[in-house]
Amino acid sequence: MRESGLFLLIAIALLGALAVPALATLQQPPGWSVAGQSAGERIGVLALAGDFDGNGADDLVVTARLTNTADAYLWFGAQGAPLSDGYNSWDWEWCMADTPDAVVAGAVGDFDGNGVDDLVLGAALHSNPPVAAGWYGAAGAGISCGPGDTSDWLVWDDTANEDFARNMAAGDFDGDGYDDLALTRKSATADGSCGGGYRYETVVYVYPGSSNGLDTTASWNASLGDADCTDADAFLTAGDIDGDGYDDLVAVSNRSTSATGVQVFFGGSTGLPAAADWSIAEGGEFSAAVGDVDGDGYADLFLSGPNDGVFGWYGGPLGLPSGATYGSADWSYYDAGGGLPGGPSTEAAYHMAVGDVNGDGYNDLLIGEPFYDDSGLTDNGAVFVFYGSASGLIAST
């Protein structure tokens, strides 16, 4: 399984070899950056890492949003070399029949079992209708989205008043050797007691992988129990947190006023259970990422909430600690005044992802900070990459 899955400036923060810090600010200068091409482009709506061409180093995909269009940018990684400068641009519109409003979700996994990573992007705000589209990677070839190209996999939902594919994650939840795709659907039910006339609820669906790639019919679904008159949504991420050989699904409820927190569904030979096996109830809207950044074979969990920052717990044979709080985190990145460095005190990481972008054998953490201010611009945003090591995420040298 490869994880899934940030606005104008992309900054990679190099963190060097210190013991994992307690609750302390970790604001570091970037070791690499590339600027967007126009004001308000908001590069960094999404950032993902995956080895789409099979050369042993992860490639970086970052999306941007401009009014009624959305672009995806791809940087191919190489063993022992930094990411290249400049833009290699895909135009998401080239691969779709209609102009999309925004590519807001994505996931990376080997859905067809050929040993090379594949990419799925979700356009939840696509006007006709919301869609999720996938491209299968191949050794020496990579993935392509340009004039004349079409996606390898496509699903959609045209139900009125509902969102589809706003968040997603990849993982082999049943241990069959093929990654599966989990994605969210915001279900809307007419309810006269709600001011807007609808009650919303997040349902998670899993599309199984196979030698032919992803099925277009979901094999599992579960409600997150977040029915609310205001809204409902959830971040998704996945990884083998307890080291039993099956990926686990992490669903992080947000937006709803009736349910806030993290639910973990542990995978098994029959897939995911009907109800969550573990939860944490820190307040606030979250984003999350799961991946093994210290190379011990257990996936680690990273969470972010407004007024807080980013906090991480390293996984182990017992999974995650019961009763976990931000104060018990093994690693943290936050500003003493609240939020993340360079952004408002009320802001959290919009999106996070895990992948080995420098090819050193350790997964790295990508953090998207969309309201980061830089070079006299407001809300141009940033993406920070913290490199993994045997001791976890490391501090700058």
Average pLDDT (138-161) is 79
In a domain, 326, yes or no: yes
In a domain, 2, yes or no: no
**Residue 88 is part of a domain; what is its CATH number?**
2.120.10.10
∠ at Cα 234 (318, 258), nearest 5°? 95
Token pair listed for 4: 């899934």
pLDDT in tens, 193-214: 998 888 888 999 999 999 999 9
Between these two residues, 390 and 40, which has the higher pLDDT value? 390
**Closest by CA position to 83, among listed 62, 109, 59:** 59
Average pLDDT (154-172) is 85
Question: Taking 60 as the threshold, does the pLDDT of residue 33 lie above it?
Answer: no
What's the pLDDT band for 116 if we cut at 50, 70, 90?
very high
Question: Taking 80 as the threshold, does the pLDDT of residue 1 lie above it?
Answer: no
Question: What is the total count of domains within the chain?
Answer: 1
Distance of CA 89 to the CA centre of its chain: 20
Query: What are the φ and ψ backbone dihedral angles of 95, each rounded to 5 degrees?
Result: -100, 0
pLDDT recorded at residue 252: 86
Contacts of 389 (CB under 8 A, 6+ apart): 17, 293, 294, 295, 362
pLDDT recorded at residue 290: 87
pLDDT recorded at residue 120: 92
In a domain, 158, yes or no: yes
Contacts of 266 (CB under 8 A, 6+ apart): 241, 242, 244, 246, 248, 272, 273, 277, 278, 319
Question: Taking 50 as the threshold, does the pLDDT of residue 10 lie above it?
Answer: no
Are 34 and 44 spatial neighbours (Cβ–Cβ below 8 Å)?
no
The whole domain housing 185 covers 10-386
Are 71 and 63 spatial neighbours (Cβ–Cβ below 8 Å)?
yes
pLDDT recorded at residue 4: 42
In a domain, 185, yes or no: yes
Between these two residues, 302 and 338, which has the higher pLDDT value? 302
> Which of 12-16, 101-105, 183-187 has the weakest average pLDDT?
12-16
What's the pLDDT band for 20 if we cut at 50, 70, 90?
very low
What's the pLDDT band for 267 if we cut at 50, 70, 90?
very high
In a domain, 305, yes or no: yes
pLDDT recorded at residue 329: 82
Are 145 and 94 spatial neighbours (Cβ–Cβ below 8 Å)?
yes
**Closest by CA position to 231, among listed 150, 157, 285, 299:** 285
Contacts of 326 (CB under 8 A, 6+ apart): 23, 282, 308, 311, 332
What is d(CA 66, CA 103) in angstroms, rounded to the nearest whole number? 11
Report cis status (omega within 30 of 0) of the bond before 317. Answer: no
Question: Taking 90 as the threshold, does the pLDDT of residue 38 lie above it?
Answer: no
In a domain, 365, yes or no: yes
> Which of 3-7, 228-232, 297-301, 383-387 has the weakest average pLDDT?
3-7
In a domain, 317, yes or no: yes
In a domain, 165, yes or no: yes
pLDDT recorded at residue 149: 66
Average pLDDT (234-247) is 89
What is d(CA 334, CA 283) in angstroms, rounded to the nearest whole number? 16
